[in-house]
Amino acid sequence: MMTARVPGPDSGENRVLPMPDLTYTPEVAAETAHLYDRVKHVVPPVEWPFHAPYVAAINRLKKERDAVILAHNYQTPEIYNCVADVVGDSLQLAKLAARSTARIIVQGGVHFMAETSKLLNPDKMVLIPDLKAGCSLASSITGADIRRLREAYPGVPVVAYVNTSAEVKAEVDICCTSANAVQVVESLGVDRVLFVPDQYLAKYVASKTKVQIISWHGACEVHERFTGEELRRYREADPSIRIIAHPECPPDVIAEADFTGSTAGMIDYATSQKGGKVLLVTECSMADNVAASARDVEFVRPCNLCPHMKRITLPKILDSLLTLQHRVEIPEELAVRARRSVERMINLQN
Ligand code: 13P
Ligand code: SF4
C-alpha cells in the first residue's frame, strides 16, 4: 500500500495547524541571524525582515511535522540556504530522497521532481508547495507518445530524461539525468536508442557516444533562450572568462562553453575556479546560491529565470507544512512501472 505510513487527514499528526505569528521580532532576528549570514551577499538587509519570520516558522514546523525539504539548485537563495535540508541536482535529489527517513518530504522544485521523490518513497507523504510548478520538458511528451514511438521503432529501447511525468517514466526502459545521460545510454549495450524528450540534451549525448540517438522535439524554455552569439560577446569583452553551460542548451551555446555539466557539475566546476570570472549559462538563481560558497569567484549571470521553479516560495512552503498540501499521489499500477525506470538508473550508479 502506497500510503501505509500516512494516517488519514483528520488524525492528530496530520491536522491542519494554525498560521504562526509572522512578525519580525528581536527574537526572530536572533534565531535567524546565522542563516542571514549565509545569504547576506544576495539578500539586501531591507528584505530580510520579510523572509526571516517565514524561515523561523518553517524550521520549527519541519521538526514538529518530521519533515525534510529537498531543494533543487535553482531554488531562491533564502530557500536553498535557509530552510533546505538537502540541496542538489536532479540525480542527487533522487538519491537523497531514496535515503530519507523523515515522515514527510517537501519538494523545493518542480512537479516531476516531487513525483520522483514519491516513486522512491511510496510510504511517505510527499508535498509540492505549488501544483503548477511544471516544466516545459515534462509537458512536451505523454505516455501515449512513447507508445507511438515504440510502434514506429520496434525493439529500440527508450531512455527518458527525469524531466518527465510518472506516466512517461512508466512507459520507458530507463531514466537518466543530465549528470549520467551518456552512461545510461551506453549501459544498454545497443546501437540505437530513443532519447526523450530534450532535443538538445539528445544532441549533447550524441556528441559523446557512438550510439545512434533518436530524439524527441522537447526543449527547456529557460536554456533554449541562450545563444552562442551572446556568449561570444561576453568572451570578447573578457577573454579570461570561463563559460559553463548546462547540456539543455542548444549546440551553438555548448560549442562556446569551457565546461558542460549538470547543475551539480557546474557548481563543482565554478567553485574550483579560484579567483576567476565565471559565466553560468543556466537558470540564474543558481549563481546566487553558488556565490555563497565561492566568494572569490566573480559570477556573470545572464538572468534567465525558470518560472516554474520560482513558483516555490517561503510562504507556499510554510502553507504546505501547515496544511499538508499538495500531496503527490501516483496510482500504484503506474508507480510500479515508473519506479522501475528510476531505480534502474539509480542502481547503475551504485
Ligand atoms: P539538473 O539535473 O542538472 O539539476 O537539471 C535539472 C533541470 O531541470 C535543469 O533545467
Ligand atoms: Fe524544466 Fe527548464 Fe525549468 Fe529545468 S529550467 S525545470 S528543464 S523548464
Q: pLDDT band at 349, cuts 50/70/90?
A: low
pLDDT digit string (tens) for 213-245? 999 999 999 999 999 999 999 999 999 999 999
Give, for ligand 1, the residue of 107, 117, 263, 345 to mutate: max count of ligand atoms closer than 8 Å to Cβ.
263
Q: Considering only CA atoms, which residue is closest to atom 8 of ligand 1?
A: 163
CA of 218 to the centre of ligand 2 (A): 11
Give the position, in ligand 2's atom list, of the atom nearest the Cα of 110. Answer: 6
Phi-psi category of residue 275: left, alpha or beta, with phi > 0 → left and psi -120 to 50 → alpha? left
The predicted pLDDT at position 343 comes to 95
The predicted pLDDT at position 171 comes to 98
User: What burial class does residue 233 get, using C-beta atoms within 10 Å of its C-beta: 0-12 exposed, 13-18 middle, 19+ buried?
Assistant: exposed
Q: pLDDT band at 350, cuts 50/70/90?
A: low
The reply to whether ligand 2 has any atom less than 6 angstroms from the CB of 220 is yes
Q: Which ligand is nearest to the CA of 133?
A: 2
- What are the residue ranges spanned by the domains of the chain? 12-134+309-323, 138-220, 223-300
Distance, in Å, from the CA atom of 229 to the CA atom of 243, rounded to the nearest integer, reads 13
Q: Is pLDDT above 70 for 10?
A: no
Query: In this structure, what C-alpha cell is assigned to residue 342?
Result: 528510476
Q: pLDDT band at 8, cuts 50/70/90?
A: very low
Same CATH fold, 138-220 and 12-134+309-323? yes
Give, for ligand 1, the residue of 90, 115, 259 to mutate: max count of ligand atoms closer than 8 Å to Cβ.
90
CA of 135 to the centre of ligand 2 (A): 5
| 12-134+309-323 belongs to CATH 3.40.50.10800 | yes
Give, for ligand 1, the residue of 75, 139, 164, 262 to mutate: max count of ligand atoms closer than 8 Å to Cβ.
262
What secondary structure, in 3-state letters, does 267-318 show? Answer: HHHHHCCCCCEEEEECECHHHHHHHHHCCCCEEECCCECCCCHHHCCHHHHH
The predicted pLDDT at position 178 comes to 94
Residues in the chain: 350
CA quadruple 148, 150, 152, 153: dihedral, nearest 10 = 160
Distance, in Å, from the CA atom of 22 to the CA atom of 4, rounded to the nearest integer, reads 34
Q: pLDDT band at 89, cuts 50/70/90?
A: very high
Distance, in Å, from the CA atom of 167 to the CA atom of 139, rounded to the nearest integer, reads 11
The predicted pLDDT at position 35 comes to 97
The reply to whether ligand 2 has any atom less than 6 angstroms from the CB of 170 is no
Of the chain, the percentage scoring pLDDT greater than 90 comes to 83
| 138-220 belongs to CATH 3.40.50.720 | no
Of the chain, the percentage scoring pLDDT greater than 70 comes to 96
Mean pLDDT (whole number) for 290-294: 78
What DSSP state is assigned to residue 17?
P
pLDDT digit string (tens) for 304-348? 899 999 999 999 999 999 999 999 999 999 999 999 999 999 999
The predicted pLDDT at position 90 comes to 87
pLDDT digit string (tens) for 118-175? 999 999 999 999 999 999 999 999 999 999 999 999 999 999 999 999 999 999 999 9
Please confirm whether the linkage preceding 326 is cis (ω < 30° from 0): yes
- Identify the weakest region by mean pLDDT among 2-6, 96-100, 117-121: 2-6
Q: pLDDT band at 284, cuts 50/70/90?
A: confident
CA of 310 to the centre of ligand 2 (A): 11
The predicted pLDDT at position 3 comes to 38
The reply to whether ligand 2 has any atom less than 6 angstroms from the CB of 76 is no
The binding-site residues of ligand 1, defined as CB within 6 angstroms of any ligand atom, are 73, 89-91, 163, 177-178, 220, 246, 248, 262-263
The predicted pLDDT at position 4 comes to 40
Mean pLDDT (whole number) for 102-117: 97
Q: Give the distance, in angstroms, between the CA of residue 191 and the centroid of all CA atoms in the same chain.
A: 30
- Secondary structure (DSSP) of 210-269: SSEEEE--B--TTGGG--HHHHHHHHHH-TT-EEEE-TTS-HHHHHH-SEE--HHHHHHH
Q: How would CATH label the architecture of 223-300?
A: 3-Layer(aba) Sandwich (3.40)
Give, for ligand 2, the residue of 74, 110, 161, 246 to mutate: max count of ligand atoms closer than 8 Å to Cβ.
110
Q: pLDDT band at 1, cuts 50/70/90?
A: very low
Average pLDDT across the chain, whole number: 93
Sheet containing 125-127: order of strands: 86-88, 67-72, 104-108, 125-127
Mean pLDDT (whole number) for 53-65: 98
The predicted pLDDT at position 11 comes to 61
